[in-house]
């Protein structure tokens, strides 16, 4: 009986305990990932998220435009009303 307890029951108890701890860690990671995705989606549909995405897009387009810089500033000025609206 003592050998069975030593070789089977005690290791099995430790294995099940470690398995339970790993399951808890996986669940915590899943919850954190889900919460992060929720916050990211909420930010993306907010006015701040839309405005920052629009500003980044306009800045990127202005930098990659082959026309002179004065026309880049005019292009950004043309769309600034949309940024103020948001």
Q: Rg of the Cα trace of the chain?
A: 28
- Local structure of residue 67 (DSSP, 8 states): S
Strands (E), the chain: none
State in Å, rounded, how far the first CA of the chain is from the last one. 75
- Local structure of residue 46 (DSSP, 8 states): S
The model's pTM is 0.48
Q: pLDDT (tens digit, 9 = 90+) per residue, 42-66?
A: 887 787 777 777 777 777 776 666 6
Q: pLDDT (tens digit, 9 = 90+) per residue, 66-79?
A: 665 566 666 666 66
């Amino acid at each position: 009986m003592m050998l069975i307890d030593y070789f089977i029951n005690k290791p099995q108890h430790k294995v099940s305990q470690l398995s339970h701890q790993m399951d808890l860690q996986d669940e915590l990671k899943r919850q954190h990932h889900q919460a992060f995705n929720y916050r990211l989606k909420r930010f993306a549909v907010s006015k701040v998220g839309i405005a920052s995405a629009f500003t980044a897009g306009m800045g990127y387009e202005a930098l990659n435009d082959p026309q002179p810089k004065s026309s880049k500033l005019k292009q950004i000025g043309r769309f600034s009303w949309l940024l103020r609206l948001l």
